[in-house]
Structure 1
Amino acid sequence: MIKNKTQASTVSALSAAVAKPRQDIEESFVSVGARLSEGAMMLNKLTRLFEALPTALQGEEVIEASSQLRSVASTARQLTEDFGKEKANLNRLVEVVSAANGPINELRRTVKMIGIVSINARVTAAGIIGDSDDFDVFTTDIATLSNSAHTTIHEFSQVYRQLTAEVDRAASQRERFDKAHAHTLTELAQQLDETLEALDRQRLTAVEGSAETGRVSRQIVGRIGSAVMALQVGDSTRQRLEHIETGLDCLADIMAGKPVDGAVLDDAVTAEALAALSTLEQEQLRATASSFADEVGEAEGALQALAIDASTIMTASRNLYGGKGGDASALSTLSAQLREAAAILRDCETERNKLEALAAAVQQTVSVLLGHVAAVQEIESNMRLVSLNAAVRCAQLGPRGASLTVIAAQLRELTTETVVAAEAAMTRLDEASALAGAFVEAAGGENAGQIGRLEQLANHAMTLLTGLDERLSVASASLNADGPKVISLLQAAAKGIDGQSRLAETMDDIALQIAGLSTDPMPDPISEALAPTLEGLRKTYTMEGERQIHNRLFGNAAPAVEVEDAANDDMDLDALMF
């Protein structure tokens, strides 16, 4: 009996030894299953998120926005050409107005000389005047003409100075505009074209890549199923080890002399039980260890493959739609360009309005100036008349009018100079009026308000793209936040399986110790007193492999496997994953 108690203690120790790898396996596979479950849910969420993007990129709103932005780019180029023409016209206006300065200065000089001639005429006429002589042309008419000419040319010059100031201001305004926006619209058009081409490529790539994404996604689903199936080895091994522990505990009770099925077995049956149960449990343990060693490798491979597939689809999504470690998506780049474009277009519109206002002011001033030209022309006419009257009067005076003849000649010469200067000034001012009119006409022409319309188109396109851009941003943010977590979880799950094969060696070592409990051969036939114990153990089995070993050792006299036993062989996904 002492020997049996010692053996009972040894068997109990072996049962406890079997419990250790069972607990390790249970803890390890529960942890792996939890990581797989969390990673799979996050991965499924991300794949659904990115699988929907190709359809969104092909949507009508994106197509409409792209069309509008191409129109923006085209019109921006046309406006650049218009701005170039306006600049040339403005430069010509500056030249023309500046060129009028010479004739106008000549007019001022001529008027000044007329004033001097007027004084000389009065002084000379006073020296030769007689009671019956009419010298009004020299004493009054030339003076009146001088005063009138001085007033008219003075007003003319003032308006001209105003025109010069306004033209210079317009030129300065345009110079500042050109410095700030000389190439703005051209660059905007080029950037939009390049980004729209990139968006088209991205849309095409998204459509072409969606098939591959779908394939990898379906493969991932298969991988998850395979991983779940492979992880069943943990649960099945745990159950089989529990059954081995139950068998060893039963053997320990027998060896300790405890009643079994209500009766204490005699020494002969006890020895028979030791041989039978030690053989049964060591074979069960060897088979469990062998199955575990084979299937744990498959589980590790399935998890590693899943981690690789997850990394592949994460990388593909990041490369396609932009994100951390990749270039910004064409859509996000376009949104940024549109925000910048809207600001640029508003600035252009403001500057263009200022330029148009200045052009209108120039035209108005030129119109006023041309009105003064009529007065200058009247002066020319009066000077001709006074000059003619002076010549006639001098002829009537004969030798007495010799000195006045010189004055009349000077007046005729000044009249000729006035005509030449006035015509030159009018020629320049007529051209200036035409150029200023061209500015005003352009302001109300077919391109009027184009910049404002461009801004409206750009804003509308940006509104259309905002929703999709937000979806891309959410997808990219989720990818950046959850992608590394998914990879980490799946890799951690794979590492959690790594090294579990050593437990198979531990189980083999325990099996050798169990085999050493008895050197007696397997009893044949089995004692009737032991049969209920063996049948009770057989009823605890949940795996077909366990029943096959039992049947091979003790025959298939046991009742057929019940339906509920077969059901236990099915994969309990909820039990594993949650």
Structure 2
Amino acid sequence: MTALAQTMPHTAEATLRALAPTLRDTEAAFSSAGASLGTAVSDLNTLRNSFGRLDALLGPDQTAHFQHLTSETGRQTLLLREGFERFLQHSQDLRGAVGTMQSEVSELVATIRTISIVTLHARILGNALSSNRQRVETFTLGLTGLAAEATRIVEEVEDAMAGIVARADVMDTEALSLARELGGAVQPALAEIGTLSTAAEEDRLRLAEGNSALAARMETIFSEVAQIILSLQVGDATRQRLEHVQAVTAAAMDEGRSAGLRALLLDLADALAAGTQDRLTAELAAVSGRLLTVEDAATSAISTARTLYLDGPGQNMVAIGAMARRAAQVGQGLQRCSGHLKVMSAQAQQIGRHLDLIRSHEIRMRRIEDQVRLLGLNAVIVCAKLGQEGRALQEVSRQLRELTRLSGAVFARLHLRLEETERWAAAIGTDAVANLAQDLDHVAAGMNSLRTLLTSTDSALRDSGTMFGQTGRSLATALASGAATLGRYSRNLSGLASFRAQLKRLGPQPDFAPQPPEVGTADHDIVASLRMIYTMPEERQIHDRVVGAPAQPAAAEAPAAAPAIDDIFF
């Protein structure tokens, strides 16, 4: 046995062991790189969802909604101004009616007090009479009772009128506060919103364009990552090719092989290993380069996104931010206005109750008026019988009739003022308040919708900026990790170099030229069977170059169509 034959089993085992680490590293490296790119794909899909949300807020539908809200705000502002002017006119009409009614009540009070004084005078005169004393006392006592009752009624009317005036004063104060709120805060803010609408629409357009451009850039990155994942199939192909090298090497090491076949198979194993190494080195360089390019593009896109979504709202949403603040101010101001309206409505209802009390006393006063007139007629008869002694009492009776006439006239006018005041109080308490409240509600609803749209956009932009910051770092890390893994694997392909060096030591002398086995021999069958294990055309080409002509027609060896991206990636 030659020295080569004695060392052969040991050397063959060492040679095959030299290839094992490379096989393990191939599977581990490409699996790790694939996992990193899987994380990158997940991050990119997260960003896709963010773009969709922003598209919904900045797209044509929401833009049209924004334009409708701003134009509707202008229309509602005009209606609110007109409604408030009508409301103020109603308030002034009520105040005028209350003032006139107060004058009539004051005159009524003065008349009733005069009647009381005249009644007292009548009692004094009646007590001084010597004849018909009983009939005179009946007159004076009846007159005194009616005067007392009239005085009590007038006191209640006067109290009710004081309540009406107090309520009207409160309404005046609330109307002044309402006018100050609407004129000094709400309407200027609404006017500013109208002024800002064009600039805000331009802000939204800039953000929409920036978002669309960024989405397009991220889609390009997504496509690049998808292509890189396809390229990572070289890892599986490399593993298969190394297994084929291993199989050819093991076949060459079989003890029953002739020297010529062993030399041929060792040359074939070396050629297959060299082809695998060359192809793998080129593929790794290409994939690593694309990974670095995509990483740079992703980093740049993330930086742009942070500028657009975090810094952008401060720079590109000046008008939008101002509109949102003004819309909030309008909403707060309208709430205060509604509070003033509620107070005014409650005061108007209180005025209505006071008016009801006065109306109920009106009937009693008319009855007293009739009774005083009847007593006056009786007094005329009594005084006529008294002659000269009854003249003073007769004059008092005449005065009472005149005062009664005056009080009746006052009550007639008061009745008209009462109806007028009731009408304006009801108009303020129901129609005017309800109409103005409805105008306020319409404006408030518009402001709420506008503020919701603006704040939602701002929130979505800031959320997207934060998401891009977090996801962007994860994406960059995943891409960098994949590139680093493949880079380390590429630099550590020393296992193949060691394996090929072992093959060189096992091979024949340099001047030995192995020949392809003849057709029909056992060696030819062995070589042909090895050719059938290849899965890639390049392996067959290398085999045919080393061994000779193919055993089968080339048409039967056409490679299968490459899988589509959708089949592999999605």
TM over 0.5: yes
1:17 matched to 2:21? The reply is yes
Match among 241, 244, 247 for residue 242 of structure 2: 244
CA–CA separation in structure 1 for the residues paired with 2:21 and 2:329? 69
Preserved contact between residue 320 and residue 454 of structure 2 (Cα < 8 Å) = no
Answer yes or no: is 1:164 the counterpart of 2:162.
Answer: yes
1:514 corresponds to 2:511: no
**Structure 1 spans left out of the alignment, 5+ residues:** none
The residue number in structure 1 matching 2:10 is 6
> Which is further off, 89-98 or 458-467?
458-467
1:112 and 1:462 mapped to 2: Cα distance?
A: 62
3-state DSSP of counterpart to 2:129: helix
Q: Which moved more, 1:409-418 or 1:166-175?
A: 409-418
- Flag structure 2 segments of 5+ consecutive residues without an equivalent: 518-522
Partner of 2:491: 505
Query: Aligned match of 1:528 in 516, 519, 525?
Result: 516
Equivalent positions of 1:218-297 (< 5 A) are 218-254=216-252, 256-258=253-255, 264-266=257-259, 270-271=262-263, 274=266, 277-278=269-270, 281-282=273-274, 284-297=276-289
Corresponding residue of 1:490: 475
Alpha-carbon offset, residue 22 of structure 1: 0.8
Find the aligned partners of 1:160 and 1:563 in 2 and give their Cα distance: 119
In 2, Cα distance between equivalents of 1:526 and 1:367:
134
Q: What letter is aligned with 1:56? A: D
1:196–1:334 CA contact under 8 A, matched in 2: no
Q: Find the aligned partners of 1:144 and 1:363 in 2 and give their Cα distance.
A: 29
Matched with 1:357 is 349
User: Is 2:55 the counterpart of 1:51?
Assistant: yes
Distance verdict in 2 for CA 1:464–1:337, change over 3 Å: same
**Partner Cα distance (1:123, 1:335) in 2:** 80
Further displaced range: 418-427 or 77-86: 418-427
**Whole-angstrom CA distance in 2 between matches of 1:294 and 1:521:** 38
Instruction: Tell me, in whole angstroms, the C-alpha distance in 2 between the residues paired with 1:184 and 1:330.
Output: 19
Letter in 2 for 1:265: S
The CA distance in 1 between the partners of 2:555 and 2:195, in whole Å, is 68
Paired AA for residue 220 in structure 1: M
**Matched-pair contact (CA < 8 Å) for 1:442–1:448:** yes
Deviates more, 1:335-344 or 1:226-235: 335-344
Deviates more, 1:46-55 or 1:412-421: 412-421
Change (3 A) 1:291 1:147: closer
Question: Could you state the TM-score of these two structures normalised by the residue count of structure 1?
Answer: 0.68
Trace 1:401-440 onto structure 2 (pairs within 5 A).
434-440=420-426
Contact 1:152–1:376 (8 Å) recurs in 2: yes
- Are residues 319 and 494 of structure 1, via their aligned partners in 2, closer, same or farther at CA, if it must alter by over 3 Å? same
Identity across matched positions, percent: 11
Which residue number in structure 1 is paired with residue 520 of structure 2?
Answer: none
Matches of 1:498 and 1:464 in 2, distance apart? 48
C-alpha displacement of 1:439: 3.3
> In 2, distance between residues paired with 1:186 and 1:72?
17
> Which residue type is aligned with residue 288 of structure 1?
L
In structure 2, the CA distance between the partners of 1:102 and 1:163, relative to structure 1 (3 Å rule), is: closer
CA contact (8 A) 1:19 1:242 kept: no
TM-score by length of 2: 0.68
Pick which of 49-58 and 460-469 moved more. 460-469
| Contact in 1 for aligned 2:327/2:451 (Cα 8 Å) | yes
Q: 1:349 to 1:417 in 2, by over 3 A?
A: closer
1:377-388 pair list within 5 angstroms: none
C-alpha displacement of 1:277? 3.9
